[in-house]
Amino acid sequence: MTTKRFFTYEEIHRTVAALAREIQASGFDPDVTVAIGTGGFIPARILKTYLKKPILTVGIKLYGDDNVIHGGPSKVQWIDEVERKLKGRRVLLIDEVDDTRTTLAYCLRELLNHEPAEIAVAVLHCKDKPKRDELPGAVKRYWAGQHLQDVWVVYPWDAEDIDAHCAQAEQAGHR
Ligand code: 5GP
């Protein structure tokens, strides 16, 4: 069975704060961020506290309703007036986890069609494992808040019982 790693909101907030410091120190100043939903929504919102840039959202589905991957990713929702919002702009794409990399690679290829000036990537967590796809060559900046082994990450926003979730995290020494 895959090991589970429970993250608290506090850990995630600290990780995003550290990511924001790295992004700012790099000199990359995005015009806009794009959150991949739904996992990227809360990280993107926390990042906005530091970067103070508007958030656009896209919905990408990889797992079916049965929690199994069937084929490739598909768009559930996309950006309105995408050309006007992305062409010539510096874009920061945000997701919660880079697992097989299929979603990020798909989304980046789609966004690059709209000719942004630059597109960079920030994820909370990158699983260090063989990836099924690669980032397009045009992507020169990639930040991961934390590198993890191939565990199953359990995010607090998926918890029905947040106290039980935090207890699991704390039991493993995380708070
Ligand atoms: P990909 O395999 O394309 O890198 O990841 C696709 C999506 O699967 C992620 O954006 C995320 O929503 C979900 N996912 C992958 N690994 C995990 C994980 O360990 N925990 C959770 N909660 N979602 C995951």
Domain containing 75 equals 4-171
Nearest CA to ligand 1 atom 10: 97
CA 152 to ligand 1: nearest atom: 19
- Whether 64 shows a pLDDT value over 90: the answer reads no
Give the residue whose CA is nearest to atom 6 of ligand 1.
103
Q: Supply 99's token pair.
A: 């697992």
User: 99 C-alpha to center of ligand 1: Å?
Assistant: 6
Q: What is the pLDDT of residue 44?
A: 98
Residue 130's CATH number: 3.40.50.2020
Q: The whole model's pTM is what?
A: 0.96
Mean pLDDT of 122-132: 98
Per-residue pLDDT for 1 more than 90?
Answer: no
- CA of 73 relative to ligand 1 center, distance in Å: 12
Instruction: Please state, in angstroms and rounded to a whole number, the distance separating the CA atoms of residues 146 and 166.
Output: 19
User: Considering its fold, how many domains does the chain have in total?
Assistant: 1
Give distance in angstroms: CA of 114 to centre of ligand 1: 25
pLDDT at 71: 87
Check if the beta carbon of residue 86 is closer than 8 Å to that of residue 107: no
Ligand 1 atom with the shortest distance to the CA of 154: 22
Query: Which residues, at least 6 apart from 81, have a Cβ–Cβ distance to it below 8 Å?
Result: none
Which atom of ligand 1 sits closest to the CA of residue 105?
Answer: 3
Q: Please give the sequence-ordered ranges of beta strands (E in DSSP) within the chain, or none if there are none.
A: 4-6, 32-37, 55-63, 69-77, 90-98, 118-127, 142-148, 152-154
